[in-house]
Amino acid sequence: MRKLLTLTLSIFGCATFCPHAAQALVFSAPYPKFAYTDASGKKQSVEVVDKFYPKKLVKPCAKMDANIDPKLRRAATIAEERAHAHSLSKCWHFVKEALVAAGVVKSRPQTTLAKQAGQELVKNYGFKKLPVSNPYEAPVGSVLVYDAKRAAGHVEIRTENGFVSDFRSKIPSRRPLLGVFAKN
């Protein structure tokens, strides 16, 4: 009852000072609507929001996988420390350096194109392709390799809060994912 009284008084107050704005509220059971005329002259209406709905976590933090070499998590940390705010177009170079610095690989990978990284890591360094098709589901420390039609592709390492190569990002690359690679 108290809520209804407050609402009624505020509507009458609005009608006194702004008669056109007060007409915009249309009360229909059970959801009140706000009516307006859009730029094209068409009458529109939307529901009035009367509760706060906190944002749900759509892309959760990455999971730690005990089966993956802990040195890969260290490589993710090293890559994150060395990364820039924006791309330098040297993703594979920075990922190679992080893998070497963490001791994941004994020698620096030789391929020049980022899209060839997965093949080389599997063939020469004991990595395995994981059965993951969604970059957000990749475990921390895994190496994600992306394709590109007429370009070098892209490589990044999954971190707890996002993805890193020569730059940090909360979202993965938009290129087609070739595979997620990790070492046991």
Q: Which domains does the chain have, with CATH numbers?
A: 21-53 (no CATH), 70-182 (3.90.1720.10)
**Does 53 have pLDDT greater than 60?**
yes
124 vs 55, more confident? 124
- Specify the pLDDT at position 143: 96
Please state the rounded mean pLDDT for residues 1-12.
62
Strand partners, 33: 26, 47
**Does 2 have pLDDT greater than 80?**
no
Q: CA torsion angle for 173, 174, 176, 182 (degrees, to 10)?
A: 20
Residue with tokens 């392709």: 129
**In the structure, what pLDDT confidence band is assigned to residue 157 with cuts at 50, 70 and 90?**
very high
Tens digit of pLDDT for each residue in 64-104? Answer: 888 888 999 999 999 999 999 899 999 999 999 999 999 99
- Specify the pLDDT at position 34: 83
Q: Is 41 left (phi over 0), alpha (psi -120 to 50) or beta?
A: left
Q: Which two tokens stand for residue 71?
A: 């040195």
30 vs 86, more confident? 86
**How many CB atoms are located within 10 Å of the residue 184 CB?**
10
Output the average pLDDT for the chain: 84
Helix (H, G, I), strand (E, B) or coil at 108: coil
